[in-house]
Amino acid sequence: MEETEYPDQFAEFLAFLCEKYRIDRSRLFVEYSSRPPLPLKGTRAGYYEGLLSFREKDGRVEFLITVFKASREPLLTLAHEFAHLVKNLKSGNFDKHLRPPDDVVEKAFDEQAVNDLAEFRSLDNRN
């Protein structure tokens, strides 16, 4: 990952999240994409600011977090998708289909993302 292609502190925040949640960085790829984001599934207007996807390769699961440049807050989007990853790893359930957002679940991930970003920034300010 070349830091120059990503928003300020993006790479550092990703490293923080991987360390905090003990995620094997070799299984995780992150893309900051200039492609147009996908429209939300369901009846709600809008688009996905980020996506989590996965694949199995050589008997090993690998993950891709895509953060679209259209995201209003790329670091929060990264943390939100990372929260999905952590939940999937804990449950062992990897959903392959894009579904309409579940407001209750998404709100919990938003709150976790805000907390993770605040924790990262508080540690960053100490240095």
**Cα–Cα distance for residue pair 18/21, rounded to 1 Å:** 5
Could you give the residue ranges of the DSSP H alpha helices within the chain? Answer: 10-21, 74-91, 103-126
Print burial letters for 3-41: b (CB count within 10 Å at least 16), e (below 16).
eeebbebbbebbebbbeeeebeeeebebbbeeeebeeee
Environment class of residue 52 by beta-carbon count within 10 Å: exposed (0-12), middle (13-18) or buried (19+)? buried
Domain limits at 26?
3-126
Q: What type of residue is 91?
A: S
User: Quick one: pLDDT at residue 111?
Assistant: 96
Give yes or no for residue 24 having a pLDDT over 50: yes
- In 3-state terms, what secondary structure has residue 49? coil
Q: How many structural domains is the chain composed of?
A: 1
Q: Strand, coil or helix: what is 65?
A: strand
Average pLDDT for 52-76: 91
Which position has the higher pLDDT, 63 or 102? Answer: 63
In this predicted structure, the answer to whether residue 99 has a pLDDT above a threshold of 50 is yes
pLDDT for residue 2 is more than 70: no
In terms of pLDDT, which residue wins out, 73 or 1?
73
pTM of the model: 0.87
